[in-house]
Amino acid sequence: MPSVTLDASNEVPIKHRVTLVGVDGQSFAPNSSVNIGIFGGNSQRALAHAVAHVRGDGSFSWGSAIFPQRGCNTELVAVAHDTDGTEASAVAEVFCP
């Protein structure tokens, strides 16, 4: 069964004012694509989205910066789904140093 992990951090130089997010997935269909969305808590509006290529071993990695920066301990949700409708999600709180 496919799964994803989400990392979110405000550990950037103060002048950048962004939240960095990283999504890693495994057990997706090899050599396919997944749609990824990052959402703020219960919000239906995507803060970031992209399409990532799934490697031959069924894994993928994707990262982005979200502007404006999210507050410390704010909950973010990552959702990844493939063309067959298989979906996996993960929740993380924004880390602040």
Query: How far apart are the C-alpha atoms of 64 and 57, rounded to whole Å?
Result: 23
The one-digit pLDDT tens for each residue of the chain (97 residues) are 999 999 999 999 878 899 999 999 999 999 999 999 999 977 789 999 999 999 999 999 999 999 999 999 999 999 999 988 899 999 999 999 8
Query: How far apart are the C-alpha atoms of 32 and 83, rounded to whole Å?
Result: 8
Look at the chain and report how many structural domains it folds into.
Answer: 1
pLDDT reported for residue 91: 97
Q: Which residues contact 13 (CB under 8 A, 6 or more apart)?
A: none
Query: How far apart are the C-alpha atoms of 40 and 28, rounded to whole Å?
Result: 24
Domain that holds residue 9: 3-93
pLDDT reported for residue 41: 74
CATH code of 55's domain: 2.60.40.10
pLDDT reported for residue 55: 97
CB 36 within 8 A of CB 47: no
pLDDT reported for residue 13: 86
pLDDT reported for residue 83: 87
